[in-house]
Amino acid sequence: MSHVYQPVMIRELLRQGGGATRRAIAYALLAEDRSQLEYYEQIVQGMVGRVLKSRNVIEQHGKGYQLVGWSELTPDQAAHRAM
């Protein structure tokens, strides 16, 4: 992973208009770490997703998830979603 640190940092600085916070750069590095992404995909599938599905909060569609009832919201209701 260390071979991508410098290019990722430079890319993030460019993406942010020449400057970025330490946290933004850390997020960019984390997004490149496949092992961490795979780990959290397992957390989503094995724990979080399973519990929320069993409580009828979400539906699973292939590898994706959607809130139950989301498609029935009006555009105005959906615009008031949590940030």
pLDDT at position 76 is 87
pLDDT at position 83 is 52
Please indicate, yes or no, whether residues 43 and 28 belong to a single structural domain of this protein: no
Q: Distance (Å, rounded) from C-alpha 72 to C-alpha 6?
A: 45
Sign of CA dihedral 65, 28, 11, 15: positive
pLDDT at position 27 is 93
- Residue 79: pLDDT band (50, 70, 90) is confident
SS3 63: coil
Please indicate, yes or no, whether residues 23 and 48 belong to a single structural domain of this protein: no
**Domain containing residue 13:** 2-32
- pLDDT mean across residues, the chain: 91
Share of the chain above pLDDT 90, in %: 77
- Residue 6: pLDDT band (50, 70, 90) is very high
- Residues in a beta bridge with 59: 66
Task: Judge contact between 13 and 20, C-beta under 8 A.
Answer: yes
Structure tokens given for 16:
């942010």
Please indicate, yes or no, whether residues 16 and 43 belong to a single structural domain of this protein: no
Question: How many structural domains compose the chain?
Answer: 2
